[in-house]
Amino acid sequence: MEFTILRTSVDAAIAVVTISRPQALNALNSRFFEEMDYYITSIQNSSEIRALIITGDGKAFVAGADIAEMVSMTPEEGRAFSAKGQAVFNRFGQLPFPVIAAINGFALGGGMELAMACDFRIASSNAKFGQPEVNLGLIPGYAGTQRLPRLTNLADALYLLTTAEVIDATTALQMRLVQKITEPENLLPEALRLAGQIASKGPLAVKLVKQVTRQGLESTYSEGEKLEQTHFGDSFGNEGREGMLAFLEKRKPNW
């Protein structure tokens, strides 16, 4: 597929995807979901990539979904548009490596939902967050009502969802929506630094940490414990042994 919205690159085991529709503040449309779905398929089994960064071009990460496309949709078409977005965003959690949102500006509506679908978020100090759908008589369609209370809490989620208030990066950090704030010029370098830090670890261990943690969140505590036990034991039979030997021999592990 020839991309018209996404710009992609891979360097030193780190993939970077830039959403580039700056004239529309990177608003999400059907074409975006087609390109992102295709891109995820192309990298999901890659042995080269160990972390993925998603960011936006210009002054917005993503300022929302494309209202100009949605305004003529029927209820059935709206449900299909929601289902497609949810399916694509869910795939970030299924990738075998962490997905980092580098939020460089407005992350509103579908943009905030995209950021929340990533494994964690780094924000520029000038980033803005919000779920303004109720201003349009709509509700979030890409699992915003489900992810937001899981990342924050019920009260903060309902506050943002019902007031449509736009919050700054500091408030987002206090709500645990983001994990770190940087100055705008340091955003991508810091995201690359963190991605490089992750890429230096045991790739199978990182994959299993993500898998077990995400699956455990949707399971009972005891089920999560058993899942951890299983994969903890499994790691002794593969790269875990190399990692422990490297530690004892005071050398870098050969992953």
- Give the active site residues: 113, 133
Neighbours of 32 (CB within 10 A): 24
Strand pairing of 128-130 and 106-108?
Answer: parallel
Helix, strand or coil, per DSSP, at residue 112: helix
Neighbours of 232 (CB within 10 A): 12
Query: First-to-last CA distance in the chain?
Result: 32
- B/e letters for 6-23, b = 16+ CB within 10 Å, e = fewer, are beeeeeebbbbbbbbbee
C-alpha separations of 17 from 3, 118, 226 in Å? 11, 13, 35
Sheet holding 180-182, edge to edge: 6-11, 14-19, 51-56, 99-103, 120-124, 180-182
